[in-house]
Amino acid sequence: MIDVSSLWPFRKMHGLGNDFIIFDARARSITLTPNMIKRLCHRYTGIGCDQLIVMEPSHIAHVQMRIYGVDGLEVGACGNASRCVASLMGRNTATIATPAGVLAAHIDHDIPTVDMGIPKFDWQDIPLSMAMDTLSMPVGWGLLGAPTAINVGNPHVIFFVENIDKIDLARLGPMIEKDPLFPERVNVNVAQVINRQEIRLRVWERAAGFTLACGTGACATTVAAVRRKLTERRVLVDLPGGVLTIEYTETGHMMMGGPVATTYTGEVDLTLFS
């Protein structure tokens, strides 16, 4: 017999294919161990997702958002998840507290846009294991070299290439992610500038691997492109799952907009994953 108290409603959502399990724990607290999170995130034996999200009450914002990777560890930021949570708030504007800071969101014609804050560029803030210029780093892996490193709530490294289709991201992504240069590992972005208003992007996300979309990666890549004078401040970022609109404002904020969707809702017996 199922213990009804162990049943938890959840919502499966995605932003351009970047998918999430979302638990709403604002009225009832939830306890999840790293092992439970890993098992829930598993695509064959669990519900399956790129990240697991918990919505909690907050004293400084409309909601607290906690973000967990498939390795069971908490991470600081997730742009697509932020847009999903914003869409669930039932408000035209909302604030979302995250480990990386409080994010402001607004909904316009059912499209959530989130202010992802101000990026950091110092090597200690990425972090890197040694001091170097983060705008054009004197390092390389195979066909990928001279990247830009940026922290947008989580660490990203961005490579600009002539032809994105010639890059074996499945091979190079995990190699770069786990390189000793990045003590907290890193998200790997490979970008091709189409014109001054459009970028093609592929992302190897730390812990999750290749993803259909990465909101923070799109933000970091746009900032890197603007700093290198490759694009305008407002661009379309074309990811395998669809297109995000990113603006790196004159005030230094990163604005990210794009569609989100609910795939399904259900209940899960958490005792099966303990």
Catalytic residue among 41, 49, 214, 219: 214
Element (H, E) at 159: strand 155-160
Q: Tell me whether residue 214 is one of the annotated catalytic residues.
A: yes
What is the spatial distance between Cα 266 and Cα 105, in angstroms, rounded to a whole number?
26
DSSP 124: G
β-pair partners for 144: 141
The two three-digit tokens of residue 30, written as one number: 């939830």
| Count of residues making up the chain | 274
DSSP state of 80: H
- Under 8 Å between Cβ of 217 and 151: no
Upstream peptide bond of 127 is cis (omega within 30 degrees of 0): yes
From the list 49, 78, 84, 219, the catalytic residue is 78
> Is 49 labeled as catalytic in the residue annotation?
no
Catalytic site positions: 78, 214
